[in-house]
Amino acid sequence: MIREGKKRPAKGLSVVSIVITLLIASFAIASAAPPVEPPTEGSVIETTTVIECVGDVTEVENLDWIYSTMDLNDSLEGYEYCGESGWEWIGERLGGITYEEDLVAMDGFTQFTKDFKMDTTQDSNNNNLEVAKRIGYVEDKSSGISKLDFTENVGMCIILRGDFNRTNSVAGHCPFAAGANNPTTCECVAAGGTMSVDIVSVTTATKVDTTDSPLLHYGLTAKGIEGYGEYVDSVLEGAGAVDGPYGVGTVAAGMDVEVLAGVDPERNYYRTPNYHYQWDWRHASTMTYSEMTTASGTFQFSKAMTYTPQNPEASRPSGYQVFP
């Protein structure tokens, strides 16, 4: 039997609203990451799911895409080219996107909708991955196991072997680059959300692009359900008024970022048996960022996180998760 929520004191009340925009901008040194052009032949995956259920609901979803501008099966490479301005190095780019979701709703009333689209073509409209979800859940208080558990992770990586003196490279300025249009860079970004709740109405939005204008965005908004969520005595509206509805349980969302970037390469001469020149790639910058926000008790929760490099180029996100 499903019962309505009650008005209760404001003990344990959490109201959280956060927007994070992490912009790797250009200044004297240089940022990272131009787009990684997709393979000539791409693919599109689209799914739509609608569920309304009294009882149990499960969903598991996994995506892993990695691709290269050269050969994916060997180590990072490149080649030298002699143009009008002299020798140039054309470096390999790697791009990757991972996404996973795990939902288990036990012994309750669940409403669930999902729109999922993965587009690896050259005409992906600035969004390779787009996922929108809405979940409503109300526990059955007569059950001892009634609960909803949900975890969602998204990751993006761009790895660039390094380009030197390329006049037709993707627009963007690397904050630490001098003579190189696209220095060596490695960027891995992950974001996600998780919750274990008795009552909730939640929406999540996921967007990732690596092929056109690199970006990763994740947002999660969670609150109660009208008539079922928890209500508390209003502080501002006067006697008899209540605020709410609030969700009940625990919700969290966070982001991890790691960016390694190089300065323009040196072309050095080495006394090897074949007496050859080679490019030396220099590590110029390291940046890490981590953030986690949690609300537990009765809550209204909203968090949006965006990572945008100003000069996109290549990546690998396999196994890169906020919530393992």
Q: Decide which of 76 and 25 is more confident.
A: 76
Residue 164 lies inside a defined structural domain of this protein: yes
* Percent of the chain whose predicted confidence (pLDDT) is above 70: 62
Residue 305 lies inside a defined structural domain of this protein: yes
Domain of 275 in residue numbering reads as 7-70+79-309
245 φ/ψ angles, rounded to the nearest 5 degrees: -80, 150
Residue 21 lies inside a defined structural domain of this protein: yes
Q: Decide which of 178 and 134 is more confident.
A: 134
Q: Decide which of 146 and 183 is more confident.
A: 146
What are 262-272's pLDDT values in tens digits?
665 555 544 55
Q: What is the mean pLDDT of the chain?
A: 75
Q: Residue 265: what residue type?
A: P
Across the range 152-179, mean pLDDT stands at: 51
Instruction: Using alpha carbons only, give the angle 59, 61, 67 rounded to the nearest 5 degrees.
Output: 175
* Percent of the chain whose predicted confidence (pLDDT) is above 90: 43
pLDDT of the residue at 270: 47
Residue 262 lies inside a defined structural domain of this protein: yes
Q: Residue 234: what residue type?
A: S
Residue 319 lies inside a defined structural domain of this protein: no
- Write down the pTM of the prediction: 0.77
H-state helical runs in the chain = none
pLDDT surpassing 70 at residue 88: no
pLDDT surpassing 60 at residue 296: yes
pLDDT class of 258 with cuts at 50, 70, 90: confident
Residue 265 lies inside a defined structural domain of this protein: yes
**CA 232 from centroid of its chain's CA atoms:** 34
User: How far apart, in whole angstroms, are the C-alpha atoms of residue 171 and residue 13?
Assistant: 47
Tokens 């990546």 locate to 315
User: How far apart, in whole angstroms, are the C-alpha atoms of residue 104 and residue 61?
Assistant: 12
pLDDT of the residue at 122: 78
Q: How many domains does the chain have?
A: 1
Residue 316 lies inside a defined structural domain of this protein: no
pLDDT surpassing 70 at residue 213: yes
Q: Which of 218-227, 231-240, 303-312 has the lowest mean pLDDT?
A: 231-240
Q: Decide which of 23 and 2 is more confident.
A: 23
Residue 38 lies inside a defined structural domain of this protein: yes
